[in-house]
Amino acid sequence: MGLLDYVKDLVGMNFSRTLRSIENEVMHRIDVATQRVVNRVVREMVSVFLILFAVAFLALACVFLLIEYFALTKTISFLIVGVIILFFALVIRMMK
């Protein structure tokens, strides 16, 4: 029985080592895939933030253009810019 027990232990150790190795490889691949997704999401969030920042500055520039160049009141200028931004938002929403 000693030889049979030795073979069982040897097979059991190799099997558990193989399982651990597979588990480590799977966890590594999951970590890499998760990191790629996180990087992609962060890049998308940063780009959306920068686009919104640019839209805010362009909207303010448009308001001041309407106030100074066309001599409109501030209320009318903000209303016009708000309607323009709303129109573009609705067009983009309908495209999806």
pLDDT tens digits, one per residue of 30-56 = 999 999 999 999 999 999 999 999 999
Q: How many domains does the chain have?
A: 1
The per-residue pLDDT for range 9-22, each reduced to its tens digit, is 767 777 778 878 88
Which comes out higher in pLDDT, residue 96 or 33? 33
In this prediction, residue 21 carries a pLDDT of: 84
Q: 76 with 66: CB under 8 angstroms?
A: yes
What is the residue range of 82's domain? 2-95
Contacts of residue 66, defined as CB under 8 A and 6 or more positions apart, other chains included, come to 72, 76, 77, 80, 81
Global confidence as pTM: 0.67
Give 62's DSSP letter: H
The per-residue pLDDT for range 47-88, each reduced to its tens digit, is 999 999 999 999 999 999 999 999 999 999 999 999 999 999
pLDDT class of 1 with cuts at 50, 70, 90: low
